[in-house]
Structures are given as structure tokens and as C-alpha cells.
Amino acid sequence: MRVVLGVSGGIAAYKAAALLRLFSESGHDVTVVPTAAALEFVGAPTWAALSGKSVASDVWTGVDQVPHVRIGQQADLVVVAPATADLLAKAACGLADDLLTATLLTARCPVVFAPAMHTEMWLHPATQANVATLRARGAHVIDPASGRLTGADTGLGRLPEPADIAAEALAVAAAATRGGGAAQVAASDDDPGMPLTGVRVLVTAGGTREPLDPVRFLGNRSSGKQGVALAEVAAARGAEVTLIACNLEAAVLPRSAMRVLPAGSALELADAVSREAASADVVVMCAAVADFRPKHYAEAKIKKTHGSGHDDSAPVVELVRNPDILAGLVADRGTAPSPVVVGFAAETGDDSGSVLELSRAKLARKGCDLLVANEVGSDKTFGADTNSVHLLFRDGRPDIAVGPTTKRRVSEAVWDAVTTLLPH
């Protein structure tokens, strides 16, 4: 496969050398197209030595070969890593002031952007609007990772690891091959790239918190990353999305097609879902809902010395069961075909069964149309940028295994499955 590796001018440009090697060692023919700014970080001799090809950033070198047109025309896959805020803006606006941006305009193959920048730049409405534009046109924009940035800063905006970028980019290329191509064109209501146009989607994300007193609560480890990714992918595919956000750690990217409603506890979430589900075509219950809540809420902070003396005793917290929101949705729907209900089974496995066995039992018990099952724990799934799941269908079709891969790719697989369940 002919891969074009675009490199823009960020400190993460040095990681693109490892990405180049991964593509080359997998047998792909790689052409590196850096920007002039990228060459300030990693010089042309490095790219030439690793790729075995001469490297240029301007449109005048080898002009007789018309490189600003030919490179994009001949590519099977274009990957831009790192993609700076400046590069994303130029690509979204269709500028072509150097060899890389000209290549992006002529490419009719899958194009993958791997952004890298400071958190403030990534979350700026201008950058998010540019990302939304690129995704709407068919480009695949990988969400950045969280971690150490330039200097002492830490946060969202770190370039994902080269191996993860390579795996995701090759998966995008393979999917495009199966689908018969992936030209980047503006999507319309009839465009298969926008299969959820007009579909009203409700997604819950995060973890509920059950208050004990004004300063304490019972909660769980859910960051909300998977739920947010599900909402973003649905919006990128044309859906009208309502996201009920329960104590999110993940950032929600501003989108005109998404409204965000807050919820704290399981009871608050149940009320919000009850209000919103009536007008939804699809409900995705991704939030980690607490099964139990304290029976009594203390109006004042529970003191360490709660008893009459200064002993080592502790208060006893009596719990009561929270409502089963997922089962309630299915019951309220009855025999109606809408909304399509998607549940999540976050399981650890125990003596009574494996993660899949427990998840299949949950699917039968809840009666939802699709159950997304995954194994969780302190070092699995919660807070991570990757996930592995099984998609289990109520109608008996074969399970689908997804991952390990990014949570965005998991979301895409979930929406691919949901699309097959929607009435046509």
C-alpha cells in the first residue's frame, strides 16, 4: 500500500519517525511530506534515510513531476501525524500553500489526522469546528491522548503512541477497501457517510454519585470517555444528539448537533432519561449507574467521632436499591420498535461466570436490543483511551468482537451495529 505520511510542525514530529518505521516494516511504500515547520524539529536527512526517498516540503522541488498533484492522486492512505492546530485549520479551509496541504486536496483515499497540541488549543472552539468539518467531509480524526505535553504541562492533546496511530490508520484503510473506497466529499442527507442524519439519539455517559452527606458520596471509576466518544461519533454521522453527562472526567467537544444535560445521582439520571427517551430513536445507556444508594442522607458532614466516645468505630451505612433504568426503558417501550435500546455490561467476572457469560445473562434479563460487554477493573477500561468489547444482539445474530482499539473505534463499531437495527 502506498502511504503518505504528512508531518506538521510540532514537537511531537520526532514520534513520526517511529510511525514511518512501523509502516515501512509492515511492507508499505511510504512517502514522507513534512511542512517547513516540521523540518525545524526533524531534518530532511532523517526522513530520507528512513523512507529511502528524497523529501521536500515545497511545491517547486521536482516540479516536472507535478508532486503537489501526483502524490495525493497515487496514495492509498494519507496519515498526518502530528497534525497541529494550524494544519487542521488549513485542511478544513482547503488551503494549499505547501506540498502537504496540496496533497490533502488531491487525495481521494482515506485521510487520517492524529492531532497533537496543548489542551487549550485542542479545546478551542475554532479547532473543534475545524475537526467537525474534517470529520463531516469523511476524514478520520483520531482523538488525542492525555499525558505530558511540552514543558511541564500535562493534559489532553498528546499525540497517541505511534503503534496506536498505525493500527487505527490501517484499520481505516482496510474498512475503506471493504466499502469500495473513501473519497472525501461533502456529505449530504443521502450520503452513506452520514447514516444517522435525522436520527434522534440519547446517550448517557460517566458515573453516578450517590451522596452520603454534603462532602461524601458512593461512586465508581467511570471517566465517561466511552460515552462521550459515542455521542461525538453519532453527531459526526449526522444524528441529533442529547448527552446526559454524569460527573464526567472526559472533555465534551462543542458541537452544534449535540446538547449536554448534567446528572449527578442515579435518581437524577433516571428522571433525565425518562424525560428525554420519549422523543429518541436510539437510547445508549453507557453511564455506569450505581446499583445502590445510601438509605439516609446526612444533612451535615458525618463526623469521624460519630459516637459518644473517641473510639475506632465507624458509622453503618444502610443501602437501598436504585431503579433499573435500562430495564425500565425496555418495559416502557413494550412491543414498539422505537427507541432502539443499547445497554452496557461492565463486568469483572466472578465464580458464577465469565464476563461474556454474565453479559449474556444480563442481555436476556434486560431485554435491550444490543448489549456492549466489556471487562473492567482498576487497570482495565476505566479512564483508559482504549477498550475491548463484545457486541451481543438480542435477535440472536453472532457476537462481534471489537478491539483492543481506541474508544472512538469502539464507538464507530457500536453505531455500525445500531444502524442495522434501525427501521428502514
The catalytic site residues sit at 220
R_g of the chain computed on alpha carbons: 24
The Cα diameter of the chain in Å comes to: 91
CA-closest candidate to residue 330, choices 286, 374, 370, 288: 370
Distance, in Å, from the CA atom of 123 to the CA atom of 131, rounded to the nearest integer, reads 10
**DSSP-derived secondary structure for 129-187:** HHHHHHHHTT-EEPPPEEEE-STT-EEEEEPPPHHHHHHHHHHHHHHHHHHT-------
CA-CA distance, 219 to 290, in Å (whole number)?
Answer: 7
Tell me the C-alpha to C-alpha distance, in Å, between residue 141 and each of 259, 342, 409.
21, 25, 11
70 vs 63: CA distance, rounded Å: 11
Q: Which helix (H) or strand (E) holds 85?
A: helix 85-93
- Bond into 82 cis (ω within 30): yes
